Amino acid sequence: MADEANVATYIDGVYHPFSFTSSLDLVEIERIEVLRGPQGTVFGRNATGGLVNVITPDPSFTTKGRVEARFGRMRNDANEIDLRTYVTGGLNDKIAMDFAGLYRDNGGFITDLVRGGGLGDSRMFNVRSKLLFEPSETARIILMANYVDHESSVNTVRPYGSNTAAATIPGVILPKGPWEASLTEVPISNYEQVTINLHTAFDLGSVSLQTTTGYIDNNGKQFTDSDASNILLGQIPFDTSGKSFSQEVRLLSTGRGRFKWIAGLYFFKLDAGFENIQLQNSAGPGQPVTVTRLDPSSKVKSYAAFGEGTYEVIDSLFLTAGGRYTEETRRFTTLRNLVPLPFGRAKASFNKWTYRVALRYNFADSANVYASYGTGFKSGVFNELGVLGTATRPETIKAAEIGLKADPLSWLRTNLSIYRYKYNDLQVQARDAAGVSYILQNAANAEIYGGELEVTAAVTKDLNLRGALVYTHAEYTSFPAAQGFVPRPTGGNQVVPSDASGNHMIRAPRHTINLGFDWGRDVGSGRLQIVGNLFHSARVYYDFLNLASQKPYTTLSGEMSWTSPNEAWRFSIWAKNITNEAYVQTLRPGALGTDAIFERPRQVGLGAAYRF
């Protein structure tokens, strides 16, 4: 819970440290900002790999809204029901409010070979509301509250290539298809989250004062089968809880001069941990089950000051420079079988300057070239499932990028970028030799370089085409003590410390391709629209030795819709993963085997929406 991803997630400018946030579904989204590479200045909180900032709309004083329903089907007679609504309007001339509600229920599309029925189901209930108060033309205050309750068995695993230590044990049931599972118990991945945010903005003349306050309370329960079979060899049930608080204060220039700047202070606090982790191990049927209980907890406090400015050196030539200083302290304690470990309470402190410089030249009204160089920092982390009071070393990165953004024709938009990242002490996670627990370690050094090309073409007023090609060369340049997993002939993996230097980095395909189109035509008195998308990925590796991988795959999705003349009604037919491609969401090599979670099979459905 206290180990944070190096690709940071923000919602409305508030940092979300919990991994559960990735499954959160928002009803109304204004835009999504994706910033690649280290964010060493304004968004510098552990964002060595980039960040995703999801922006939801603020309440409107004009009353409007929508109601939407979707129904879909998957294999195993699994239904998908998705109901959502959004409404906003003014309560008086100074106060406006909105409300968003969502209920989604996905049936179990994975065949349970032990108990019958389906696994992989999920149910989410989410309500979210913002209250906007504008006491004057120079002040703006927004209070947001969000509640989400999610129950699922999305962590249903199956042996990948029948690689499980239980493969030769009498009574084992081995799945034959990708969407089948045979587990000791029904897996659980549940969480409940409460979020409260406060945003303020005050116009002080030549500057604007803005503040962002965020509070998140997260509780979860998980149960995972470590050998991916109906034979009890290893499993981990546990509860999680975590609270985070963040406060940011920013001062922004609002003048019309050549120099624009932003300066701010940031505070972050995290209190998270696991309760009653049970590392359960057994030699097989009829053998005793050994249970090791862990109760780890971590506390984090982080302070930062940052500033960034952009100066127009000459007409159309802009120089940007900024920096951020971070101080962070982490405290870690754990109980093993309810007994404190010898190290007692461990503490580690880290501090780092990071910076960014960029140069941009607008050589035309709709075209520019740019170059940037920056650094990033992610503090050291304690291994919450370990028994040592030693934190990993901080992860740092140096990144360079050059690019071109141009609209060469009125109907054509192009973006081209080339980049190179160099990581030092990259933090990675792998299963430990015991099979059911995990370890954190530094992967020494890594390098990533590549390029990305995006093209959007409005071929006609009715037809738009889009495409993106990404090439990535990512390898561990020095990783002499990687946690290696070599398959055993009888099932499971032999755990061997290995030199992974020169190997591909995990989860980094050599190339990806996105292609899409949307075509529309007036039909009757309404508008018919057809949308199609294709995604292709090269091979993806999931272990440091590059032995466990997902081969290249391609997916297709599409939608056909009709919108009424007044745009109030919209009816649609949609399909995802049209070709029913079986590809993994993740692979997890460990001593007890290599297990996989597959993405969903083909889904087809209907939708209806009403706007007012």
Is residue 1 predicted with pLDDT exceeding 60? no
Which residues, 6 or more positions from 161, have their beta carbon under 8 angstroms from its beta carbon?
A: 594
The total number of structural domains that make up the chain: 1
204 φ, ψ (degrees, to nearest 5): -105, 20
SS3 500: coil
Which residues, 6 or more positions from 460, have their beta carbon under 8 angstroms from its beta carbon?
A: none
Give the least confident one: 6-10, 230-234, 342-346.
Answer: 342-346
Across the range 385-394, mean pLDDT stands at 78
Q: How many CA atoms lie within 13 A of 64 on its CB side?
A: 10
* Predicted pLDDT at 413: 97
Residue whose structure tokens are 């989604």:
104
Burial of 325 (0-12, 13-18, 19+ CB in 10 A): middle
Tell me the pLDDT band of 40, cut-offs 50, 70 and 90.
confident
Give pLDDT tens digits for 212-254.
999 999 999 999 899 999 999 998 899 999 999 999 999 999 9
Task: Give percent above pLDDT 70 in the chain.
Answer: 99
Is residue 386 predicted with pLDDT exceeding 70? no
Across the range 100-113, mean pLDDT stands at 96
In this structure, is residue 2 part of a structural domain?
Answer: no
Tell me the pLDDT band of 389, cut-offs 50, 70 and 90.
confident
Name the average pLDDT for the chain: 93
* Predicted pLDDT at 593: 94
In this structure, is residue 247 part of a structural domain?
Answer: yes
Residues 155, 597 contacting (CB under 8 angstroms): yes
- Here the CATH number for the domain that contains residue 446 is 2.40.170.20
Residues spanned by the domain of 282: 7-611
Pairing of strands 158-164, 139-152: unpaired
Does 268 or 433 have the greater pLDDT score? 268
Is residue 557 predicted with pLDDT exceeding 60? yes
In this structure, is residue 1 part of a structural domain?
Answer: no
List beta partners, residue 198: 143, 213
Helix (H) or strand (E) holding 271, with range, is: strand 259-275
Pairing of strands 110-112, 180-181: parallel
**Which long-range contacts link 85-90 to residues 24+ away (Cβ below 8 Å)?**
85/27, 86/27, 86/28, 87/63, 88/57, 88/59, 88/60, 88/62, 88/63, 88/64, 89/59, 89/60, 89/61, 89/62, 89/63, 89/64, 89/65, 90/59, 90/60, 90/61, 90/62, 90/63
Across the range 120-138, mean pLDDT stands at 96
Across the range 70-86, mean pLDDT stands at 96
* Predicted pLDDT at 387: 64
The span from the CA of 596 to the CA of 162, in Å, is 10
Q: Cα 496 to the chain's mean position, in Å? A: 30
Is residue 44 predicted with pLDDT exceeding 80? no
Is residue 117 predicted with pLDDT exceeding 90? yes
Across the range 261-274, mean pLDDT stands at 94
Is residue 34 predicted with pLDDT exceeding 90? no
Residue whose structure tokens are 């934190």:
391
Residue 374 corresponds to which tokens in the numbers above? 């920056």
Taking the CA atoms of 163, 168, 174 and 176 in sequence, report the sign of the dihedral they define.
positive
Is residue 435 predicted with pLDDT exceeding 80? no
Task: Give percent above pLDDT 90 in the chain.
Answer: 80
Mapped to the 3 state alphabet, what secondary structure does 283-351 carry? CCCCCCEEEEEECCEEEEEEEEEEEEEEEEEECCEEEEEEEEEEEEEEEEECEECCEECCCCCEEEEEE
Across the range 384-403, mean pLDDT stands at 86
Give pLDDT tens digits for 473-528.
999 999 998 999 999 999 999 999 999 999 999 999 999 999 999 999 998 889 99
Is residue 341 predicted with pLDDT exceeding 90? no
Across the range 547-556, mean pLDDT stands at 97
